[in-house]
Structure 1
Amino acid sequence: MHKNGFFSLLFHILFIAFIVAPLLVVMAMAFTDKGYLSLPTDGLSLRWFRALLDNQEMLDAFALSIKLGLASATIATLLAIPAALAISRYDFPGRGTLTGFLLSPLMIPSVVLGIAFLRFFSIAQIGGSFWALCLTHVIVVLPYALRLTLASTIGLEKDIEQAALSLGAKRWTAFHRVILPRIRTGVVGGWMLAFIQSFDELTMTVFVATPGTTTLPVAMYNQISQTIDPLITAVSTVLIVGTLILMLVLDRLVGLDRVLIGEGK
């Protein structure tokens, strides 16, 4: 093996170990038999996974996060598709301003957004509902869906749509049968990033969540602040394993390189 190749391989091994090691430590602590965070442990136990199944508050928060992520990512993607097509295919006054406005949540700190949403909901008296929380997440995750969708629409030929229209296809048929398949990877990738961001959002959600709309990150934060038992490591282990399984399934069905990087045009 070439000398530089050996050091390059060693660097990548050390880098991956540096990234993965904290996850492995968290997963190892989830199997402790003690009532507090401990590593190494005297014995292995599934007591904290059983405790997780008995913790209805955590299960409800997980279900709410899934529902919220699906709703907000889907709405954000439905808004991102026409916005990306308009920005990439048409030259109109204020296009740059519109793009900056739609991407602006990326530049605003989550704490500022949380305080702003809290104040707005207090004045409008619409806080505490699922759809109010969903609205905040749509605004936060829209830039993620838009950026990948926009990347897939840039350079998209207008001639193919015009050809479909000239052959008698209606505009919706041309979009569904001609345009959408060519931007599918960007749309799917944008939806995935939007879902992940919504599911993982904590800082902003802390300000607008209520006892009836507590998401999993907020529930985990409350658990950490109130106790030091290893229940949180069991939750983390389930999320890590679930994410790995989801990534493997997506890779089998679609191909992660096609979704996250995009097909060659």
Structure 2
Amino acid sequence: MNKNGPIALAFNALVIVFMLAPLVVVCVVAFTPENTLTIPTTHFSLRWFEAVFAHPDFMQSFWNSLWLALSSATIATLLAVPAGMAITRYEFPGRNFLNGLFLSPLIVPHLVLGVALLRLFSLVGGTGSFGWLVLAHALIVTPYTLRLVVAALVGFDRSAEQAALSLGASQATVFRRITLPMILPGVTGGWMLSFINSFDEVTMSIFVTSPSTVTLPVRMYMYATESIDPLMAAVSALMVAVTAFAMMLLDRVYGLDRVLVGRR
């Protein structure tokens, strides 16, 4: 056994505790019966969770975030599947440029994207439009879906496709009956990862949302600038629960280890 094994294990355990401790504290504070951000010492209460569901602004922002994440993740998937197939299967001028173009949102800070999209929306008259907000989120989450689709297509055995084509099946039938089912775990995993990133996005959304399209993370940011009470902890705990549930589904469908490999 490596003599440095226990040291490495202890170091990894400390890193995990350091990363998860703030989340655990926030989730525990959400159950406090007090009016301040304190850890409950006498009993747990659902008071602040009830306050969240009774707060119309937070509920409207939650639905905005939910529909926004569903729409942007779906658009990103519809773009990533044909783009991934083109990048992995064909040699054509500009292939590397196309791949870099789709992945470029990963290297551009969301603050810069937010300012640029705000200027663009003001020029085209799309400021405050939910549709333009969906397109903005689709822009930043498409790289996540594309990476997983490309990972699913790399090393793809095309013998079944070629056999179907030789028997007279059309390209559309081959894609629907053979290709898509075989890469479906990657497509589904990419959709879920895009959903998570869109639902949690705040930096860019601050610039491109309007009073009628405020997302939940932006609403939390706005609320925190005015007051800090356990209501924020309750909202944060709910967001952690939604994200954790989505990550569990992603792990069951695709595997988080494969997601991490695909994002490198």
**TM-score for both structures, normalised by structure 2:** 0.90
- Return 29-38 or 128-137, whichever deviates more: 29-38
- For the 8 Å contact 1:105–1:140, the answer to whether it is kept is yes
Provide the C-alpha distance between the structure 2 equivalents of 1:226 and 1:5, rounded to a whole number of angstroms.
48
Give 3-state SS (helix, strand or coil) of 1:183's partner: helix
The separation in 2 between residues aligned to 1:96 and 1:218, in whole angstroms, is 35
Q: Which amino acid aligns with 1:117?
A: L
Q: Deviations over 1:84-107 (max 9, x none)?
A: 101110000111111111111112
Equivalent pair of 2:106/2:140 in contact (CA under 8 Å): yes
| Letter paired with 1:234 | A
The residue type equivalent to 2:61 in the other structure is A
Q: CA 1:120–1:246 in 2, change beyond 3 Å: closer, same or farther?
A: closer
User: Which whole-Å CA distance do the structure 2 matches of 1:90 and 1:255 have between them?
Assistant: 25
1:64 & 1:259 partners in 2: Cα distance? 30
Aligned ranges 1:11-50 → 2 under 5 Å: 11-39=11-39, 44-50=44-50
Aligned residue number for residue 233 of structure 1: 233
CA distance in 2 between counterparts of 1:248 and 1:207 reads 31
Superposition map of 1:79-118 within 5 A: 79-118=79-118
- Any unmatched runs of 5+ in structure 2? none
Equivalent residue, structure 1, for 2:54: 54
Structure 2 equivalent of residue 256 of structure 1 = 255
Cα RMSD of the aligned pairs, angstroms, is 2.2
Q: What is the rounded CA distance, in whole Å, between the counterparts of 2:44 and 2:172 in structure 1?
A: 58
Q: CA deviation at 1:186?
A: 1.6
Q: Report the TM-score, using the length of structure 1 for normalisation.
A: 0.90
Higher deviation after alignment, 98-107 or 238-247: 238-247
Structure 1 gaps of 5+ residues are none
Q: 2:87 is aligned with what amino acid?
A: I
Deviation readout 1:29-85 (Å, 9 max, x if unpaired):
112222222246565332211111110110111111111111100111111000010
Distance 1:249 1:84, change over 3 A: closer
Contact 1:62-1:216 within 8 A present in 2 as well: yes
CA distance in 2 between partners of 1:166 and 1:40 (Å): 68
Deviations 1:126-175 (A, max 9, x none): 22121110010111111111111112112223443222111111111101
Name the CA distance, whole Å, in 1 between partners of 2:138 and 2:86: 20
